[in-house]
Structure formats: structure tokens, C-alpha cells
């Protein structure tokens, strides 16, 4: 065995986090990025307006419909979708960068986006975050105080079908009833996935 590390990451890791809004996935996502050196949070483009404290370039890249459509035409998105009447898209450049640097890219996107990424990159890891209950989810959405009643009603309807689809098709499901526990489960998924044989370059193996 040479003195070089015998095991190196052979490829990047695409980690998708999905959840109904209000389940706490964005907080989990940001913490995971903070604790994972070299990782990248995929900042999506969207045509919706900023909410609350959201900042352009940090939470989303806020653009108009025309700009979004030009990006679709230039094939700049690895996936895009219409959600609640607005467009959202994930940049292809983020995937290319994670692949080139053999690092993690984290996507905070919906189930249709997650499944589109998995169809294109079967080695992507899909994690679905469940709220403790639908009642608790509604309470969190109301407490956030940024959405009108009608929006909350629509989001609750969407949440139910999103939860059904996510729980049926994702690789991992984590219940966010206690943040620290949910976070340690998410981190365990990342740690285990990084040890997956197919992701590693096993420098000590004999060839032929
Ligand atoms: P919100 O408007 O509440 O920030 O997001 C609405 C939904 O769109 C959330 O489920 C969020 O995860 C999803 N979303 C955000 N960015 C993207 C994206 O780039 N692609 C897809 N497919 N969904 C996204």
C-alpha cells in the first residue's frame, strides 16, 4: 500500500432535500452546508418575489419570467418546475462544479425536482423531511406570518400530496419533530453515503 491515502472520493455527491414548506428543511440544509467543508448549497433561480428576510443570491436568485425562459432555452437548468404559479430551477453549473471538485452539492427543491435529478443522475441521494403532523405543519406556516390564509390553504393541500409522493419514492425519510435529532439523522445519511463503495477510488486495489 502506498503512503497516499488509500481511499479518495471518486465522485461528487448530489444530495436532494425535499419537504412540504414549513417542515424545517431549509434550516437543516443550511446547517449541513455549514458543517460540511467544501460543500455547495444550490441557490435556485425563481420568478417569485422575495419573502421576509430573503436575499437575492443567498436564498434564491430572483429573476423575471423572461430571464427564466432564456435560461431554459440556453439549457442552464438541470431541472426546473412550476410550483404554486412560479418558476423554480436548479443550475446545471452547480452539478458540474460538485462533480469536478468531488464535493457535495445540496439541493433544497420539491419532489418533482428531486425525481428529475435522480432520473438524470441515479447516484443522487434523495432525502424527504416530514413534519411531525399535518396540524403542526399548519401551525408553523401560520406562525411564519408571511402567507395569506388562501396561500396557507393551498400550501396545506400541496403538502399532503408532496408528503405522499416523497415518502413513496425517496431514498430516506426523516421526521423533523426534534431539530437536533433530525439533523443528526441527516448527517448520518451524508456520512454513510460518503462511504458507499461506488463513490470511492480504492487506490490499493490490484488491477486486472
Ligand atoms: P418556496 O416558494 O416556499 O421557497 O418554495 C416552494 C417550493 O419550491 C419548495 O418545495 C421548494 O423546495 C421548491 N423549490 C425551490 N427551488 C426549486 C428548484 O430549483 N426546483 C424545484 N423543482 N423546486 C424548487
pLDDT tens across 24-80, in order?
898 999 999 999 999 999 999 999 999 989 999 999 999 999 999 999 999 999 999
The Cα-based distances of 51 to 42, 55, 56, 106 in angstroms read 18, 9, 11, 21
Q: Is residue 84 part of a domain?
A: no
* Pocket lining: 88 vs ligand 1, CB cutoff 6 Å: yes
Question: Measured from the CB, is residue 109 less than 6 Å from ligand 1?
Answer: yes
What residue owns the CA closest to ligand 1's atom 14?
Answer: 109
- Cut 0.85: pTM above it: yes
81 lies in some domain: no
Determine, yes or no, domain membership for 79: no
Task: Decide if 18 contacts 127 (C-beta within 8 A).
Answer: yes
Residue 126 has pLDDT above 60, yes or no: yes
Q: How many whole angstroms separate alpha carbon 106 and alpha carbon 103?
A: 10
CA atoms within 13 A on the CB side of 157: 7
CB of 21 closer than 6 angstroms to any ligand 1 atom: yes
The count of domains in the chain is: 1
Q: Is residue 73 part of a domain?
A: no
Q: How many residues does the chain have?
A: 208
Mean pLDDT of the chain: 92
User: Which of 73, 107, 111, 69 has the alpha carbon at shortest distance from 87?
Assistant: 69
Strands (E) in the chain, as ranges, are 7-9, 13-18, 40-41, 45-46, 61-62, 77-83, 86-91, 104-108, 125-130, 172-175, 200-202
Find out whether 62 and 46 touch, Cβ atoms under 8 Å.
yes
Whether 186 maps to a domain, the answer reads yes
Which residue range(s) make up the domain with 15?
7-42+103-205
CA of 163 to the centre of ligand 1 (A): 14
Q: What is the pLDDT of residue 4?
A: 67
Best residue among 62, 83, 116 to mutate for probing ligand 1's pocket (most ligand atoms within 8 Å of CB) is: 83
Q: Coil, helix or strand for 151?
A: helix
Here the CATH number for the domain that contains residue 30 is 3.40.50.300
**pLDDT value of position 202:** 85
Q: What is the pLDDT of residues 72-125, one digit of tens each?
A: 999 999 999 998 899 999 999 999 999 999 999 999 999 999 999 999 999 999
Which of 105, 110, 127, 151 most suits a substitution to test ligand 1, by most atoms within 8 Å of the C-beta? 110
Amino acid at each position: 500500500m502506498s503512503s497516499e491515502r488509500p481511499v479518495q472520493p471518486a465522485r461528487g455527491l448530489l444530495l436532494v432535500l425535499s419537504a412540504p414548506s414549513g417542515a424545517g428543511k431549509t434550516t437543516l440544509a443550511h446547517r449541513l452546508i455549514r458543517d460540511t467543508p467544501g460543500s455547495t448549497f444550490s441557490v435556485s433561480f425563481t420568478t417569485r418575489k422575495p419573502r421576509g428576510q430573503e436575499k437575492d443570491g443567498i436564498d434564491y436568485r430572483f429573476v423575471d419570467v423572461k430571464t427564466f425562459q432564456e435560461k431554459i432555452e440556453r439549457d442552464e437548468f438541470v431541472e426546473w418546475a412550476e410550483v404554486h404559479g412560479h418558476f423554480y430551477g436548479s443550475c446545471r453549473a452547480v452539478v458540474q462544479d460538485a462533480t469536478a471538485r468531488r464535493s457535495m452539492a445540496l439541493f433544497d427543491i420539491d419532489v418533482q425536482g428531486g425525481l428529475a435529478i435522480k432520473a438524470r443522475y441515479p447516484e443522487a441521494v434523495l432525502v424527504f423531511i416530514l413534519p411531525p403532523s399535518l396540524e403542526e405543519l399548519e401551525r408553523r406556516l401560520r406562525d411564519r406570518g408571511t402567507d395569506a390564509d388562501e396561500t396557507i390553504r393551498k400550501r396545506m393541500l400541496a403538502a399532503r400530496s408532496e408528503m405522499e409522493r416523497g415518502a413513496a419514492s425517496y431514498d430516506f425519510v426523516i421526521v423533523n419533530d426534534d431539530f437536533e435529532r433530525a439533523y443528526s439523522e441527516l448527517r448520518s445519511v451524508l456520512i454513510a453515503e460518503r462511504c458507499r463503495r461506488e463513490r470511492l477510488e480504492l487506490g490499493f486495489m490490484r488491477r486486472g
